[in-house]
Amino acid sequence: MSILLAAIVPHPPIILPQIGQGQEREIRSTIASYREIARRVRELAPETLVIVSSHATSYTDYFHISPGKKARGDMKRFGAEQLQVNAIYDEEFVLALEKNAKRAGVFAGTKGEREKALDHGTIIPLSFLAERDLPCEVVRIGLSGMDAAEHYRLGKCIKKTAEDLNRDTVVIASGDLSHKLLESGPYGFHPSGPVFDRLATEAMAQGDFLGLMTLDSTLCEEAAECGLGTFWVLAGTLDRMNVTSELLSYEGPFGVGYAVAAFTPEGANPDRAFDVLYQRAERERMSGVRAGEDAYVRLARQTIEAFVRTGETPDLPEDLPEEMTNTRAGVFVSLKIAGKLRGCIGTTAATTESVAQEILKNAISACSEDPRFDAVRADELERITYSVDVLGKTEKIDSPDQLDAKRYGVIVISGYRKGLLLPNLEGVDTVEEQLKIAKRKAGIPEYERCRMERFEVVRHT
């Protein structure tokens, strides 16, 4: 058995006495649990320690594995430059992992390193695990913007690599939970914060990796979670294995959730193939989504599916409601995968003869011309969810007091620069946030005065 232990740990800088200056005493249970994990790791004496950190180099569509022979890091940015950690990388493991990922079709490798120094999500676990010197070599991996199944598949590659090399391995998933547990916390409070932490810790205690993989994406975003992707990778390293699961502690006195959990493999169990179970659950969920589509969303989806597969613009269906064919308006078409934006293009006013034609035109642009994303691939189509916003007439306003981030979209204008933000967006809860983002999109400095317009939308999802 090559995976000896897998553990979830947080990485609050304040947990280190040099930084906490006594405040660390408020998370005694977390510290005690961390020390217990460290004791078990030293007792197991692994040859390789794989750390998956939510603060290591990350890309939208690629898992970065830190290259080279070694790396060091310090906590200077947290006021403790004297606190330094060194790590020797397991180059043989990294090379084998790259090969296994390539064979499995997982986009992962050592290219594109942006920062060689160890991140605090790596430094803090290593600070607990090391007595004088770290007793084993390290593999450090960052996250990606891909879905739970891809993170799980990377975990399976880690497991296979450990088995191929006959390498006794411990896996550490370094990530915090919600950052929105208290108004006094760094990101304020959101009701989804405590809900996310309750569901996540219940899943940890039960070894319910499917529960972690199927948490609602809106809930996760509202909770401002940090470590979920690392937990998905950890789950994959225990693919098709029975595990003894222990939630050693959970605390959140500073407004951020800190969980420590341990998972010990106990033998094979083919029923615990959570990537398969996740994909089955996703197909069932998407089938329900498709069944609930209205004519607006269905037109956007069918247009994109036809265009991506054939490269040609389809004709409008003949059975569309009159409200779509006899009215004109600006329209935005948005695409998401696993709750994350995959494309969004729209028009603030009508540019075609009908709402239906506006949807068709902007749907094609959203899947192929959004400069922030590559064109949508055919293999992504079954995972995309759509929304269509039909814009009402714009009206000039004199003050932010006339805005409501949930009810009104906003257009900011300064000279030739113009930025628009739709209303009722996830994570945009205040007018101040709405204006800040709209100005940023327009290239208007935050402090600069500008003209403003507001509008209402009818959102179809």
pLDDT at 25: 94
Residues 333 and 455 in one domain: yes
Segment 284-317, tens digit of pLDDT = 999 999 999 999 999 999 999 999 999 999 999 9
Q: Which of 235, 259, 280 is the last residue of a domain?
A: 280
Full domain range(s) for residue 116: 3-280
Q: Which of 259, 264, 251 is nearest to 231 (CA)?
A: 259
pLDDT at 1: 62
Residues 122 and 263 in one domain: yes
Residues 254 and 307 in one domain: no
Segment 113-162, tens digit of pLDDT = 988 999 999 999 999 987 556 679 999 999 998 999 999 999 999 999 99
Q: Structural domain tally of the chain?
A: 2
Segment 233-246, tens digit of pLDDT = 999 999 999 999 99
Instruction: Give pTM, 2 decimals.
Output: 0.84
Q: Which of 149, 256, 237, 121 is nearest to 196 (CA)?
A: 256
| CATH for 150 | 3.40.830.10
Q: Which of 280, 303, 324 is the last residue of a domain?
A: 280
- Write down the residue that tokens 């991506």 correspond to: 308
Residues 298 and 441 in one domain: yes
Contact 412, 450 (CB under 8 A): yes
Residue 194 predicted with pLDDT over 60: yes
Segment 319-372, tens digit of pLDDT = 999 999 999 999 999 999 888 889 999 998 899 999 999 999 999 999 999 998
The burial of 28, by beta-carbon neighbours within 10 Å (0-12 exposed, 13-18 middle, 19 or more buried), is given as exposed
The continuous run of DSSP H or E covering 410 comes out as strand 409-414
| CATH for 320 | 3.30.700.20
Contact 98, 105 (CB under 8 A): no
Residues 109 and 88 in one domain: yes
